[in-house]
Amino acid sequence: MSPTHRYGSDLGMNTVERLSAFAQTLRAHAVRMVHRSRASHLGSCLSMADILACLYWNTLRIDPEHPNWQDRDRFILSKGHGAAIIYAALAERGFFPVGELKTYCESGSRLTGHITSGVPGVELSSGSLGHGLPVGCGMALGAKRGNLPFRTVVLCSDGELDEGSNWEAILFAPQHELDNLLLIVDFNKIQSFGRVKEVLDLDPLADKFRAFRWAVREVDGHNMQQLADTFAAVPFEQGRPSVVIAHTVKGKGVSFMEDQLAWHYKTPSAEQVEAAMRELGVDL
Amino acid sequence: MRTAFINQLCTLADTDEHIWLICGDLGYSVLEAFADRFPSRYLNAGVAEQNMTGVAAGLALVGKTVFTYSIANFPIMRCLEQIRNDVCYHNLNVKIVSVGGGLAYGSHGYTHHAVEDLAIMNALPNLIVAAPADPIEARAITTILASHQGPAYLRLGKAGEPVLHAAGTKVELGRAIQVADGSDVTIISIGGMLGTVLKASDELRLQGIHPRILSMPFLTPLDTAAILDAAEETGAILTVEEHGPGGIGTAVAETLAIHGHALAFHPLRLAKSPIKVSGTQEELRSAQGLSVEGIVQAAELLCRRPHSAVIR
């Protein structure tokens, strides 16, 4: 693969339909994993399923056979509580056996409830919020000053933008012209104990990023074509970091979980799992 | 000490192109030496320590050896979670440097007193915790940390500390430096108290008390062997540090207890209560017994009392 700062736009084999199917599979894994382990954070997993499918099957230059390939794109999941679905993405992408997903949160499993390094394909452990973007800035700066070809992509939540550390990094990235950095905000409008609007309203979020000298695009975070086209257009402006504000729905894909704060915490029952599988059109 | 540090870092960076230095908008008249010579590996991250530490972790994840630099508590407390999660958990090559450890910024007030730093840093995994006593230790430890694979905390004094060790003194990771031998009591100090300890040692010798003097720049890894030898060979131990509970006194006491040594022991250190008055470093130290007189008095008491007694 040739070193370039442009994102690949050729969907190739992975048509929009196929990418959307991958997203449904990831959702189904997450539902089963969270049910099996009596874990939580399912709503947060489902809202970013389409983004992850697009990244892992279309955008990111990665090689599951060589997870530590030097020139690989770096992807940091800063909302580390979405662990179930990122593990599902990594397994389905071939970083480790899909069968291992059954061990999620089990005693002795490396698949802990918040994303943890040591799992093949994971670049950074997170769980406490507001850590991913500063680390991503460091990676991007290292690449920029070292003339290295890889790109750095950070996915954060909306609630996470309450953290001051993120705003330190949001100041930092344009200062150092990190146009090899992409931040994606999974803007599902619900944080852990209330709606974003009611807790610390982020609006107007795009204007805030623009004022901080980022190049901003807003997309429907469940529209695969839009996601693929937008990620392919990064960097949106030379010399500026890019941010994609992805408008999403918490719990997307399972009607009774959609836009419900409760599904930040709840574990689905066996009946709910079956209902979810029917809606997702996937049987794992 | 800070001059010894930056000069040594420049020397190392000359041959190791992976070495970076990031400051939190502090380092006037110190860091220019590095910034001018290695502009592509230098960064002022601004007054934003959380991001500074995260950026350092990101750079380390792509193969750099990153020194972060600020004063007193600034490079460790605001960004403690970044140090714990991003740096220590991932065992990254980030070396956190604090200038003005202890009461070096005495008159600046409590916000600038780094008197809990050793205890806090020592609780973290994978982290070397070091506080050199003089420019010779500072230079040697900078070299050790630069080549060590993993994170470290380096507490420095400010500028102008006297050289206390002889040229060529051997400084090794996790090893105490025996500055003088004696059989009546061992005085163990960490960091910048060594000068005062040596003066106290002279006084004690005039009184016929012969202390063993250990400079112990590494809280982790701790030189347990030197502590146990001191217990067995001198029978009494006095620790001296410009720091509150949780530093070298705590570490030595724990070592002695674990190994079943009930001997005369006293940790000479700062009280846990904040210092609310202005003063020079010397004055604020002395007010809590961290003076030649205070050390002499504590050592005398230890030598006089039965080994199982408690000092207060």
Determine whether B276 is exposed, middle or buried from the number of CB atoms within 10 Å of its CB (0-12, 13-18, 19+): exposed
Q: What residues pair up with A245 in beta bridges, in sequence order?
A: A185, A218
**Residue B231 host element (H or E):** helix B224-234
Reported as a single tens digit per residue, the pLDDT across A60-93 is: 999 999 999 999 999 999 999 999 999 999 999 9
Q: Say whether B59 and A146 touch across the interface (CB within 8 A).
A: no
Whether residue B10 is found in the same domain as residue B146: yes
Domain range holding B252? 177-304
**Structural domain includes residue B117:** yes
Tell me: do B41 and B112 sit in the same domain. yes
- Shared domain for B147 and B6, answered yes or no, is yes
Answer whether residue B161 is part of any domain. Answer: no
Task: Examine the domain organization and report whether B152 and B184 are in the same domain.
Answer: no
Q: What CATH number did the domain enclosing B215 receive?
A: 3.40.50.920
Residue B166 in domain: no
- A211-269 pLDDT per residue, tens: 999 999 999 999 999 999 999 999 999 999 999 999 999 999 999 999 999 999 999 99
Taking the Cβ of residue B17 and every Cβ of chain A, the question of whether any pair is shorter than 8 Å is answered with: no
Question: Does the structure's ipTM exceed the value 0.85?
Answer: yes
- Judge whether residue B309 has pLDDT over 70: no
Backbone angles phi, psi at A155, to 5 degrees: -110, 120
Nearest to B100 by CA among B155, B18, B55, B34: B155
Q: In whole angstroms, what is the distance from residue B22 CA to residue B41 CA?
A: 8
Looking up tokens 């499993």 gives: A109
Does B50 fall in a domain?
A: yes
Cα A83 from Cα A153, distance rounded (Å): 17
Strand B42-44, strand B19-23: pairing: parallel
Give the pLDDT confidence score for residue B201 in this predicted structure.
Answer: 98
Confidence of residue B158 (pLDDT cuts 50, 70, 90): confident
| Residue B205 lies inside a defined structural domain of this protein | yes
CATH topology of domain A16-280: Rossmann fold (3.40.50)
pLDDT above 60 for B253: yes
The predicted structure's pLDDT at residue A72: 97
Residues B23 and B134 in one domain: yes
% chain A with pLDDT above 90:
94
B227 and B131: one domain?
no
B172 found inside a domain: no
Whole-number pLDDT of residue B307? 52
The reply to whether B185 and B289 lie within a common domain is: yes
Listed by number, the residues of chain A in 54-83 with a beta carbon closer than 8 Å to a beta carbon of chain B are 74
Distance CA B97, CA A106 (A): 39
In chain B the first and final C-alpha atoms are separated, in Å, by 35
The residue assigned the tokens 């001059």 is B3
Tally of domains within chain B: 2
| pLDDT for the residue B306 | 58
**Same domain, yes or no, for B128 and B236?**
no
pLDDT tier, A7 (very low <50, low <70, confident <90, very high otherwise): very low
- Domain positions in chain A are 16-280
CA distance, residue A130 to nearest chain B CA (Å): 9
Q: What is the pLDDT of residues B99-136, one digit of tens each?
A: 999 999 999 999 999 999 999 999 999 999 999 999 99
Q: Is residue B309 one of the residues assigned to a domain?
A: no
- Pick from B127, B156, B185: which residue ends a domain? B156
Residue B47 DSSP class? S
Least CB–CB distance from B89: residue in A125, A148, A171: A125
* Average pLDDT value for residue range B248-261: 98
For chain A, how far is it from start to end, CA to CA, in angstroms?
34
Please tell me the predicted confidence (pLDDT) of residue A4: 35
Closest residue of chain B to A71, computed from CA coordinates: B62
Q: CATH code at B18?
A: 3.40.50.970
